[in-house]
Amino acid sequence: MKKHTKPRNPTAQKANPKGEVRIIAGRWRGRKLPVLNAPGLRPTGDRIKETLFNWLMPYIADADCLDGFAGSGSLGFEALSRHAKSVTFLELDKAVASQLSKNLQMLNCDKTQAVVFNQSSLEFLKRPQNRPHFDVVFLDPPFHFGLAEQAAQLLTENNWLRPNALIYVETEREKQPKVPENWVLLKEKTSGQVSYRLYQA
């Protein structure tokens, strides 16, 4: 989704709706949602998304999901379209988070189905949990900052993951992410300059 060479400054940009993401299957199949023209923000391509959700097909219905570093929200919206029980979207950029909320309203999603937090994903995940929350997690952070690895560690340390939770991790092609020892790699592919993997906790 977001391929950055440097961190974004949410207060220093003028972001306007430009472009769109397409939901490829499920109850909103073919629906197109506007995406802000924010620096470095790029939705996960349909080809990768289709492969990922083929992997997740037996698991996504009725799952509680986390779309960390949400950006366009492409993965979270796809999960909702395929009957995920809920999706929590995390997005640091205020304007981008606002667009996520608007798109959820367009889809008539209420807060029991989806909620957007305009917050650092890492700060959000630093909070210890008394009970685990998520069955499926999407981690597609800005590249070259080790954010996927930090988020992976926090998910485990702070009890966010339910037993046998599935975690999708997208990184730059040359990156082999360091993940918690109890995560098992189920699937792995490369497309262009992107590597993507599905783990099970």
- Return the bridge partners of 2, or none: 41
Counting residues of the chain whose pLDDT is more than 70, the rounded percentage is 89
Beta-ladder partners of 139: 68, 169
Third-level CATH fold of 17-200? Rossmann fold (3.40.50)
Q: Break the chain into its structural domains and give their ranges.
A: 17-200
Residue with tokens 């289709």: 50
Please, which pLDDT band fits residue 13 given cuts at 50, 70 and 90? very low
At residue 45, the pLDDT reads 82
Please give the Cα distance from 179 to 31 (Å, whole number).
34
Residues of the chain with pLDDT > 90, as a percent, come to 76
Check pLDDT > 50 for residue 11: no
Length of the chain: 201
pTM recorded for the entire structure: 0.88
Residue 78 vs residues 34, 107, 110, 120, 184: alpha-carbon distances, Å: 14, 12, 16, 22, 24
For residues 73 and 56, give the distance between their C-alpha atoms in angstroms, rounded to a whole number: 17
Q: What is the pLDDT of residue 39?
A: 61
Bridge pairing between strands 17-22 and 134-139: unpaired
Q: Rounded to whole angstroms, how far apart are CA atoms 181 and 199? A: 11
Give the model confidence (pLDDT) of 112-162 as tens digits: 999 999 999 999 999 999 999 999 999 999 888 899 999 999 999 999 999
pLDDT at 175: 76
Buried-state track 164-176, b at ≥16 Cβ within 10 A, e below 16: ebbbbbbbeeebe
Q: What is the mean pLDDT of residues 1-5?
A: 45
Tokens of 48: 């990768």
Distance of alpha carbon 8 from alpha carbon 31, whole angstroms? 28
Residue with the larger pLDDT of the pair 16 and 23: 23
